[in-house]
């Protein structure tokens, strides 16, 4: 059966834990003769409806290091960008490639591609979910706290966006406590909350970022206005003015806490420079871990 990665919930808890462990192994083997090339002779299409830095670099380098050929495709330069049905594109890609990675808009687009494809489809980002980033984030948390997931408290500060939704799914799978602090009107998806709570997720929505960060082992955030929301920038800046992660907020978190941000960041808005550039920040490890975690994911989906 073809396996896809549309959201984190396409993996079981045991599979997620295994992918994270394999990510660390591949990281330790990088640059050595012992690094495996399980995808030698294969090709992976990486399609972009949205511009990217980390997603493109990490997938292109990672696919190459696994032995496969990365095809980097701007959707606007293809028939997909001219209105070809997603289902037709899926069938065509399935004849040429061994997997398809798509950074796009609505989640329904990735779901449609996966439904019609006979090769693995990976969600590299949609408006609703960002599961590949969560793999990197969880690997970064694992580096600091091992696999002590049920003992951890994680705080999401800011917009209830695709990152918040994927953190909620992660809470359902791994069992950590998640506190989500959003302004009124910017909550995460009710459907995502229901999915995670059906798995026993301990998720609490609050309006006070200090309440969310108190005693947290991980404090994480994202930009206030994501790509495509530029017209809302002024309204969002006003709504999120109390939600900056600064030194005062980090001071109420656990003494061993770390700070995460998926990047790009706006210093002085969602995070102060003193935090993102400070000793608790793991954002550069987190960015690098996109490479290792996606390699482990592709190896699992394509090579088994």
Residue 267's SS3 state is: strand
Contact by Cβ (8 Å): 259, 250: yes
Contact by Cβ (8 Å): 134, 17: no
Catalytic residue, candidates 129, 130, 169, 280: 130
Q: What is the DSSP letter of 271?
A: B
Q: Is 35 exposed, middle or buried (0-12, 13-18, 19+ CB in 10 A)?
A: middle
Catalytic residue, candidates 6, 98, 133, 236: 133
Catalytic residue, candidates 132, 262, 280, 292: 262
Catalytic (active site) residue 133 = yes
| The token pair that represents 67 in the structure block | 């032995």
The residue with tokens 């590299």 is: 124
Catalytic (active site) residue 290 = yes
Catalytic (active site) residue 182 = no
Q: Which helix (H) or strand (E) holds 154?
A: strand 153-157
Q: Determine if residue 59 is left, alpha or beta; phi over 0 gives left, psi from -120 to 50 gives alpha, anything else beta.
A: alpha
Contact by Cβ (8 Å): 281, 275: yes
CB proximity list for 90: less than 8 A, separation 6 or greater: 100, 112, 113, 114, 115, 116, 117, 121
Catalytic (active site) residue 27 = no
Catalytic (active site) residue 103 = yes
Calpha distance 27→25 (Å, rounded): 5
CB proximity list for 65: less than 8 A, separation 6 or greater: 30, 35, 37, 295
Catalytic (active site) residue 267 = no
Which residues have a catalytic role annotated? Answer: 103, 130, 133, 222, 262, 290
């Amino acid at each position: 059966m073809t396996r896809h990665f549309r959201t984190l919930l396409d993996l079981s808890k045991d599979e997620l834990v295994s992918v994270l462990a394999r990510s660390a192994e591949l990281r330790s083997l990088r640059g050595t003769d012992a690094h495996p090339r399980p995808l030698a002779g294969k090709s992976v299409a990486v399609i972009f409806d949205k511009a990217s830095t980390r997603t493109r670099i990490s997938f292109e380098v990672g696919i190459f290091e696994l032995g496969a050929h990365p095809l980097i495709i701007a959707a606007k330069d293809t028939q997909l960008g001219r209105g070809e049905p997603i289902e037709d594109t899926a069938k065509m890609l399935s004849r040429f490639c061994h997997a398809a990675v798509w950074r796009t808009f609505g989640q329904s687009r990735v779901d449609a591609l996966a439904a019609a494809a006979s090769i693995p489809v990976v969600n590299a980002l949609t408006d609703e979910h960002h599961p590949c980033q969560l793999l990197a984030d969880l690997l970064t948390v694992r580096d600091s706290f091992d696999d002590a997931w049920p003992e951890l408290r994680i705080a999401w500060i800011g917009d209830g966006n695709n990152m918040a939704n994927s953190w909620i799914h992660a809470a359902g799978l791994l069992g950590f406590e998640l506190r989500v602090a959003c302004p009124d009107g910017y909550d995460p998806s009710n459907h995502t909350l229901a999915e995670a709570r059906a798995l026993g997720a301990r998720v609490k929505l609050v309006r006070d970022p200090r309440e969310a960060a108190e005693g947290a082992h991980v404090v994480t955030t994202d930009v206030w206005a994501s790509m495509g929301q530029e017209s809302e920038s002024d309204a969002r800046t006003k709504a999120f003015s109390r939600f900056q992660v600064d030194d005062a907020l980090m001071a109420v978190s656990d003494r061993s806490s770390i700070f995460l941000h998926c990047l790009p960041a706006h210093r002085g808005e969602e995070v102060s420079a003193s935090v993102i550039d400070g000793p608790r920040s793991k954002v550069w490890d987190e960015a690098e871990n996109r490479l290792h975690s996606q390699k482990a994911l592709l190896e699992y989906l394509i090579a088994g």
